[in-house]
Amino acid sequence: MSRFAKALFAATSGCQFLICPLLAHHSFTAEYDSSKPISISGSVTKVEWMNPHVFFYVNVKGANGKSSNFAIEGGSPNALRRQRWGKDSVRVGDVITVSGFPAKNGSSTVNAVTILLPDGSSLFAGSSYDLNGPKKAK
Amino acid sequence: MLRSRKKIEVAGWIIFAVSIALLAIRLSHYIFSAPVAESRKMPPPPKSSGAWWFTGEPAPVGQAADLTGVWFGDPLGDISKATLPGQEMILTPLGKHRYDTVDHSLNPTNRCLPPGPIRISLMQLPMMIVQRPDLVLFLTEYQRTYRIVYTDGRMHDPDAKDYPDWMGSSIGHWEKDTLVMDTIGLNDRSWMDVNGHEHSAQLHITERYRLSEPNILEQLATFEDPVFFVKPFTTRRLFKRQIGDRLLDDSCLENEKDLKNLVPTFGAAGR
């Protein structure tokens, strides 16, 4: 895991109760590329507030002007609820900015570390980005 | 006649002035206050004390400590980082080879298989302990899994090792204020942590749980597995009682979308 990736994580997360970005049901590194942190913005088209991970779908306009629909993976809904984020925190039509890591297989999937919401707050997505050590109990 | 017309005129001016004042007050709200964005956070949950039946009272002298409640420990990805001094994990040549070459895309929980009794306690979801004189239940939120620890004096089932399973066979007893648990009969398919520490079906776990403080649960766990570890090693972890919290729903398969994206990733490259 690159130092740059760790620095991005440290700068954007501030690991909170139960929202530490690790230990999801799947291995982060087998799915996402921690050496290529990215940031994308777009309009939310769909919200899936479900186990084992919440998913947000976002239309992102590319350099050629065409839009692509990205799947944004967050943490578990339970962990987010304990941080007082709920199923209405991100809504269809919201323009959000996502910082995270792209899927290794080239699909339009991003593991979110933070999501900047329209109200200016930053939803720490509780991603499965794997980093041993940071933790904070309630 | 003229006097009453004058009164009507004055009343009209008064109504007009009041209306203007009310309008000004209303407009001032928009003029002088900055727009407030709607918060997307939920309101704080209502305050509560205790986890249902837990009263916070210490157990009477001579009786088992009351471990009931919802507990959460710091998430941990590498169990070897929780070892006590002098109790470090030392891998056998086979254990080292397996750790160095483990494929993280084959992590059993990628496929929503059970996590095993130790990894479940390293995760970012809590567990609830239910205590009876004849058994102790560990109800774990992740995948709605559980461990049943019989404390009625029975031994392990004679076929526990012949039919190993994901969470193993656990029996326990109380040594004063400490719950001592013995677990065998584990299959060799679970990982001990997300970093990919594996084990064999010979894994034998001894756990000791006690309240190091009224709301802090201490877990000492000793692992013996001559196939993967040169010698037994012991870890220490702490769990904090989540006053007022409860277990929530969890289903790994409900909206599983990661499996199709996984690519083989070996050893250190996956940590």
pLDDT surpassing 60 at residue B36:
no
Closest Cβ opposite residue B250 in set A78, A86, A137: A78
Cα separation, B97 vs B212, whole angstroms: 38
Residue bearing the bigger pLDDT, A53 or B45: A53
pLDDT bin (cut points 50, 70, 90) of residue A131 is very low
pTM: 0.79
Neighbours of B209 (CB within 10 A): 24
pLDDT in tens, B153-195: 999 999 999 999 999 999 999 999 999 999 999 999 999 999 9
Place A32 in a pLDDT band, splitting at 50, 70 and 90.
Answer: very high
Q: Give me the count of residues in chain A.
A: 138
Q: Name the minimum distance, in Å, from the CA of B209 to any CA of chain A.
A: 19
Domain A29-124: CATH superfamily is Nucleic acid-binding proteins (2.40.50.140)
Provide the residue ranges of all domains of chain A, joining segments of one domain with +: 29-124
pLDDT tens-place string over residues B240-254:
988 778 899 999 999
Closest chain A residue to B270, measured at CA: A29
Q: Cβ contact (<8 Å) for B252 and A53?
A: no
Interface test with B, best of A9, A13, A26 (most B CBs within 10 A): A26
Q: Average model confidence (pLDDT) for chain B? A: 87
Contact A130 B123 (CB under 8 A): no
* ipTM, two decimals: 0.76
- Which tokens go with B222? 């000793």
pLDDT for position A14: 35
Q: At residue B242, what are phi and psi to the nearest 5 degrees? A: -95, 90
- CA A88, B123, B251: angle at the middle one, nearest 5? 50
- β-pairing verdict for A109-116 and A67-73: parallel
Q: B78 CB near a chain A CB, below 8 Å?
A: yes
pLDDT at residue B200, as a whole number: 98
Confidence at A130, pLDDT banded by 50, 70, 90: very low
Indicate the residue type of B187: N
Quick one: DSSP state of residue B43?
P
